[in-house]
Amino acid sequence: MLRFDREIYFDNVRKTLFGGKLTQQQVDGQNAILDEWERHAMSDDLRHLAYPLATTKHETASTMWPIEEYGKGEGSSYGIPDPETGQTYYGRGYVQLTWRDNYAKATSKLDLTGDDDLEWHAERALDPQIAADVMFRGMAEGWFRTASDGKPETLVKYFNETRDDPYQAREIINGDKHIVPEWSDGVSIGNLVAGYHENFLAALVASIVRQPEPEPVKPIVIRLAVPEGVEVEVMTMPRGRIDMPPVSEAQRKAMQAAAKGKSTLGIPKKVGKEFAKADKGGGKLPKRKGKGKR
């Protein structure tokens, strides 16, 4: 699971994306996004986090906080309260979830119930955790837009082993990549978001928390106390789960014979019987001749 050093991350984005300073709301919004990413271990491809962050910067006018659409849908049919639910489904969240069908889809996909049901409580799309989940799942699974070939527009379409295309990835959210806003100094929306993406990606790479290398596995040694005259092979094995080799039919018969006093392992019959008796709780182990005690 990838985790990020937040101090390093914010030092980076503060300089490259936010003019040298961040508001507390900008910090809180980005922390909510990073928390959800770490909590769900969504992907090892950091581009799948960097691009949603870049999208958030554009869609929230750099506030990095779930917002309501300016004008609240005025002049559009989705700006009129629904006669059944009483809700108005204008854009909300990090990626401006819009239309009743999309609120219902997000509710179903995220298993939201009760007061978190977005179809009946549309304002809950402004909750940072819910907004982050809507953004990540929606962009990963292609909830928002469909390509001309009928396939959903997804992160993996534009960011995979053979493709790295943050400009065209704008299609995931909106088909406005060619539009040049008045305030952008001649830069199109697609290129603006692509530039944000590169800076967020650099900050994420720099702030990855490196996991310590695991210590080498140390073997444990098993030593067995056995009667004199019996040869036993001593094995070493690594710590953890022990997978014992299967017992052959010949070995099984030999062990059964030893337990019945018909040893085939070189154990005297009398000793074998006493071992079998002791094993059943009916006697004591035989004394060993010579020095030392058992």
Domain boundaries, the chain: 3-66+127-209, 71-126, 249-278
Q: Poorest-confidence range of 64-73, 151-160, 276-285?
A: 276-285
With 90 as the cut, is the pLDDT of residue 102 above it? Answer: yes
Task: Indicate the CATH number of 71-126 among 1.20.5, 3.50.50, 2.60.40, 3.30.20.
Answer: 3.30.20
Q: Is the pLDDT score of 127 beyond 80?
A: yes
Angle at 92 between CA 91 and CA 95, to 5 degrees: 85
Q: What is the pLDDT of residue 147?
A: 94
H helix runs in the chain, sequence order: 6-16, 24-40, 47-59, 100-109, 128-141, 155-158, 189-207, 249-259, 269-279
Tokens of 177: 């990549």
Which pLDDT value is given to residue 239?
Answer: 56
Q: Are 29 and 66 in contact (CB under 8 A)?
A: yes
pTM metric for this prediction: 0.72
Please, which residues bridge with residue 208 across strands? 4
- Do you know the residue count of the chain? 294
- What integer is the mean pLDDT of 244-268? 62
